[in-house]
Structure 1
Amino acid sequence: MRKKPWLLAGLVLTGVAAWMIWNQQTDAKAHDIFEDHKLVVGTTGDYKPFTYWNEERNRYQGFDIDVIQAFAKAANLDVTFVKTTWPTLSEDTKSGKFDIAVGGITKKVEREVVGDFTSSYFSFQKAPLVKKKDVERLNSLAAINDPAVKIGVNPGGTNEAFVKKHFPKADVTVFENNLYIPKAVKSG
């Protein structure tokens, strides 16, 4: 089976993909989405295939976007999408910026303090996205942890923490948008 480059990002480092439903432990006043008929959804928009911003269509797309839109339609709710980032996800949740966040969100203690998770629907291990010619050379954590190896990672999530822990010798570049990483890998 051929792996899709957009399924992995940079050293596509991801854990359990889950969408988060936030509880009422926020600093903001909660509203009843079923009474208001309004659902505000936070998403990073940079994590294919779960969520990504399609510039040509000027809208969010992806599996999680489709799921939340189907839920909203069935529940007769109007959906508004709000951009969040991996570094600000927990704080945006706590401040009440949105009712729910979607987009392949990994369960972390720091996030569970401010919200609840649904059951995971997808799980996979962290895996590097490398050029085909480098597959044999970059086949272990030790081989990747080398000053000659360039790693692209997104900030503020489990990917960045994994890279810091396992690849302190590598040349790490932080990309604000996960979607830029596969292009950077391709271009070297």
Structure 2
Amino acid sequence: MKHQLKTATLAASVALGLGLTGVASADDHVLEVVTDPSFVPFEMMDQESGEMVGFDMDIISELAERAGFEYNLRTMDFNGIIPAVQTGNVDIAIAGITITDERAEIVDFSDPYYDSGLRILIGANDDSVQELEDLNGKKIGTKVGSTSYDFLEKNLGDSADITPYPGSSDMYMALLGGSVDAVFYDAPNVGYFSKTKGEGRVKVVGDLYEGQQYGIVFVKGSEWVEPVNEALAEMKADGTYDEIHAKWFGSASGE
């Protein structure tokens, strides 16, 4: 797994001028950050540069610069991310992670940085599905460890054939190949696929289900939660957040 060192601007030390001793080295501010490589357009691998790009990657880069840390970036399947933070194997996770009460019991979250929800994706020529209830008796693809999987299990249970896939690309390929009748997943990812690789072959239907908010994840008790929240608030106040949003999704006010 490729590790990337992301440089961020650190505030110049004035400790010597103040006569302080025992100043922490820059290495003390190098954090381990993990993401999911398949949640486009939040995070994805740029095939030309071999580096991770996307909305979340721009967000964490800006937050690091403002909060005062550098980071090593690594990737892993989504279902392993929360356990990795919980056990302290990584310091921070950013991967379109929905804030839930259950997760908040074992990790800390930043303030919300993105409003989302869940949507249904079906074949372009399929007129049999218009809302969640129409998925009864259908084969549905979703993602392992996601809130969309939990939602399906709770609301459809044994009335549908629910298949969790390790990556979002896997469930989309299953839909295009006819292995599943529908995909149920995070709205921005579903929408992005429908307008890119799935254009003309799939369509989004139904309401936005289970209004959600994404948060950045930290080890319980992390000292970086407050600095990151302060940096996030600054980004929203000075327009930087809107600029990053417009780059990947269009105007933030148009959601």
> Please, what TM-score do these two structures have when normalized by structure 2?
0.53
Partner of 1:139: 130
Q: C-alpha displacement at 1:158, in angstroms?
A: 0.7
CA distance in 1, matches of 2:84, 2:72: 15
Largest Rg, 1 or 2: 2
Runs of 4+ in 1 over 4 A off after TM superposition: 32-35
Among candidates 144, 148, 159, match of residue 159 of structure 1: 148
Paired residue secondary structure (1:87): helix
Partner of 1:3: none
Among candidates 159, 166, 169, match of residue 176 of structure 1: 166
Q: Letter of the 2:173 partner, please give it.
A: K
Distance 1:33 1:125, change over 3 A: farther
Paired residue secondary structure (2:94): strand
Q: Deviations over 1:26-62 (max 9, x none)?
A: xxxxxx8976231211112221121223455432221
* 8 Å Cα contact 1:41-1:80 kept in structure 2: yes
Q: C-alpha displacement at 1:74, in angstroms?
A: 4.3
- Structure 2: give runs of 5+ residues left out of the alignment: 1-23, 179-255
Partner of 2:96: 104
| Correspondence list, 1:64-83, <5 A | 64-75=56-67, 77-83=69-75
Partner of 2:197: none
How many aligned positions are there? 154
* 8 Å Cα contact 1:33-1:77 kept in structure 2: no
* 8 Å Cα contact 2:77-2:167 kept in structure 1: no
Q: Letter of the 2:110 partner, please give it.
A: T
* Identity over aligned pairs, percent: 28
Distance 1:183 1:36, change over 3 A: same
Paired residue secondary structure (1:128): strand
Distance 1:43 1:55, change over 3 A: same
* 8 Å Cα contact 1:150-1:170 kept in structure 2: yes
> Please, what TM-score do these two structures have when normalized by structure 1?
0.70
Q: C-alpha displacement at 1:76, in angstroms?
A: 5.4
